Chains A and B, each alone.
Chain A
Amino acid sequence: MNRKPRLLTHILLLLAALAYLAPLLWMIDTSLKHEVQAVQIPPVLIPHPVRWQNYVHVLRDPQFDFSLFARNTLIIATLSSLGAMLSSSLVAYSLAKIRWRGRGLVFGIVLASMMIPFPVFMVPLYRIFRELGWIGTNLPLWVPAFFGIPFFIFLLRQFYLTIPRELSEAAVMDGCSHFGIWWRIMIPLTRPALLVVGLFSFMSAWNNFLGPLVYLTHQSSFTLSVALQVYQSRSGGTSYNLLMAASVLIIAPVLILFFLAQRTFIRGIATTGLK
């Protein structure tokens, strides 16, 4: 593509950028306004005065303990991420690098299970967790991650397949066990893909709403997404400027994580599509 992009392209890009950025900017804008100014018509573009107190109000609200919810979400997301990375790479290695009977069937199950919608599992899982006594704890939200997540198993398997067999065969010659190969060769070689898995499972757990909605019964164990919905639906209602402030607080960690790990994110999404 040596031709310089036309003016039309520039205009379209600007429009797209505006359309995609405007809602986020408006969220921040509203979050800094006083309740009365937030609902003024015509809408005020620049809040004056800038009400940083909105954020203090949200953070100090005795019934919306942001640091507690952030902590809960962080714990669940981190554990999910670790579990996903660990288990998915183990299983992917088995499916890609070891020849054993039943391998194809298991891979088929992995693929098929990606298409099963969550509601099918919702009720039985609830029953299972109830019998285990896990309802009311955060265990249902991260323990399953340690048993492999089909999408990431699939992703890592594809990655493992690209690693030349000679490497592992050489190690076998040297008397290395499968575990040794996996730990000492595969893991370092697939670090970028592993990071992608870790990042994506973290994000997915952080943003998860239906899971915490169903399994977390005690407010003190809520995650940020459920807490935000609760904040919105409190009896008596919550005004929009505070709701926007709370939204900013919840989105901020995700955006920070994105900027820190930008390249991994993009690469991750790119590799998922190619097959």
Chain B
Amino acid sequence: MEAQDSSRFTRFAHRVAIALVAISAAAMYVFGDRPSTHVLPDGARIHKRIVVSYWEEWTGFEGRAMEHIVNEFNTSQHHIFINMVEVSNVNIKTLISTAGGDPPDIVTIWSGIMGQFISYNALTNLNTLLRHHVVTPHTFVPFAWKLCAPYGTLYGLPATTDPNALYWNKILFAKAGLNPDKPPTTLKQLSEMAARLTIIKPDGTIKQAGFLPMEPNWYAPDWGIYFGNHIYNFKTGYFNIDTPQQIAAYRWMQEFSKQLGYQEVDSFQSGFGQFNSPLNPFIDGQVAMELQGPFLANFINRNNPKLIGHYGVAPFPTSFGPPGAATFADCDIWVIPRGAKHVQAALQVLKFFIQQKNLEYLNDKQAKPSPLMKTSAAYIRRNPNPYIQVFDRISRNPNVQSLPPSPIWPRVNGQLTVMANRIWMGASVIDQIRHAQFLADQWVQRENHLAELRLQQELQP
């Protein structure tokens, strides 16, 4: 009830402000940039095409490589239009949307969830490609084929491969008095060199680390491989977590944390920059050695060209043989989820994607080896990764290990990561490993039990 001028003005000002907000909201709606999804690269609109939705997690220049292929497809014919969308957390999103009945037509998923998707019958069967001889079991490198057709039926096609190898910084090696052209060939050597490559500042914080097993932390569950462990028993479906090799592996891994001090390492790590940036710990010289995939070479090319020629890549040492006696490779896989609306068109698109020139273009831009058995010499020559041959050899290595096609691998992987984390923080290696084994066994048993119950129900009238 205040009739004073000041409050009348306030009310007026309020009304004006509200009006302004409403008008700008309306303007944003009317004139706002709508995502130009159904437009060809040259701006022309598409007419009456089947629109295939394609979800992709790569960003930046990796994403643009795929864009190029998609654009080529879109401009080369008038039947189908690929609508490519960058999606984060694509694995979870695909699961949720497939369960919700609204999946994309094609999506690139991580090999680790193939088992889960297959067990839920969530993928469209691609055997028609086999029947029409578009692909054969020998089109792709063996490990990639095994990931796409773990039980015989084809459920996906390999997109890019990601073999792991040891990167080392030659400049830091030289500075520490080590021969820059001689990487460690045994794990013991690696530990010793790492110690020499570690520099601690007077106040106790880390300036440079020789080797950090938990950097990056997505390979944390895989250390047993280099000690001769095979994590999954394909025949029984059980996991080999509590083995002498695993215990040795994680004891070795824990040593690094103990030597440096977990608190100091965590503080050090939390200051690292983003993976694809000049502040990447390997790229900016804060970590001297790293287990990584081929894409790091790509990021070095783009973020710190000064490092080119001054770093090396070699197979990672093992505890039981020469480097390369045990290796690991991962793979991104193109799949068509169940319930996709345009399966036939999606198959056409996949046929285009896996043509040699397209697959090589994609992997070339990501500095990765091609998943095809047949690789042109030109591809090896042109590849921006100076060590492409090392990676290529690893991916064709008959004893390369990859992720288990187990339906519960994501859960086990999660538990192994927790286990690795806790071990890194100083917990008892044996206790953590036993605990993880216990849980994995429990889950496998329960999965089997539930599968039995499902089978019983289906057999009943």
Contact = CB atoms under 8 A, between A and B. Distances in A.
Direct A–B contact in the complex, CB atoms closer than 8 angstroms: yes
Interface of A: 35-36, 39, 41, 63, 65, 67-68, 70-71, 74, 126, 129-130, 133, 135-136, 214-215, 217-220, 230, 233-239, 256, 260
Given A235-B57, A236-B275, A256-B21, A71 B29 contact: yes
A219 to B, nearest CB: 6
B134 interface: no
A236 B100 contact: no
A219 B102 CA distance: 13
Contacts of B271: 39, 41
Contacts of A136: 97, 100, 102
A67 B97 CA distance: 24
Given A219-B85, A236-B60, A70 B96 contact: no
Interface string B55-66: 001111000000
B77 interface: no
A63 B86 contact: yes
20 contacts: A35-B273, A39-B279, A41-B271, A63-B86, A65-B33, A67-B32, A68-B33, A68-B35, A71-B32, A130-B99, A130-B100, A130-B101, A135-B97, A135-B102, A217-B97, A220-B37, A230-B88, A234-B88, A236-B275, A237-B275
Contacts of A230: 88-89
Question: For chain B, which range describes its interface: under 10, 10 to 19, 20 to 34, or 35 or more residues?
Answer: 35 or more
A166 B275 CA distance: 70
A235 B88 contact: yes
Given A135-B101, A238-B274, 8 more contacts: A35-B279, A65-B35, A71-B32, A126-B100, A135-B97, A220-B37, A236-B276, A239-B274
B231 to A, nearest CB: 24
B28 interface: yes
Interface string B265-286: 0000001011111010000000
Contacts of B25: 74
B374 interface: no
Contacts of B86: 63, 219
B48 interface: no
A63 B37 CA distance: 12
Contacts of B37: 220
Interface in B254-301: 271, 273-277, 279
B34 to A, nearest CB: 7
Tell me the dominant secondary structure on chain B's binding face.
loop
B28 A214 contact: no
A71 B28 contact: yes
B381 interface: no
A151 to B, nearest CB: 25
A125 B59 CA distance: 33
Interface in B91-116: 93, 96-97, 99-103
Given A68-B32, A68-B34, A219 B87 contact: yes
B14 interface: yes
A259 to B, nearest CB: 8
Given A65-B33, A237-B275, A260-B17, A70 B28 contact: yes
Contacts of A234: 59, 88
Contacts of B57: 235
B9 to A, nearest CB: 15
Contact of A233 (B21, B29, B88, B279): B88
Nearest to A256: B21
B100 to A, nearest CB: 3
Contacts of B176: none
A236 to B, nearest CB: 4
B18 interface: yes
Given A136-B100, A235-B57, A218 B85 contact: yes
B71 to A, nearest CB: 14
Interface in B10-29: 14, 17-18, 21, 25, 28-29
A36 B60 CA distance: 20
A236 B99 CA distance: 28
A217 B18 contact: no
B163 to A, nearest CB: 18
A249 to B, nearest CB: 13
Contacts of A214: 96
Contacts of B101: 130, 133, 135
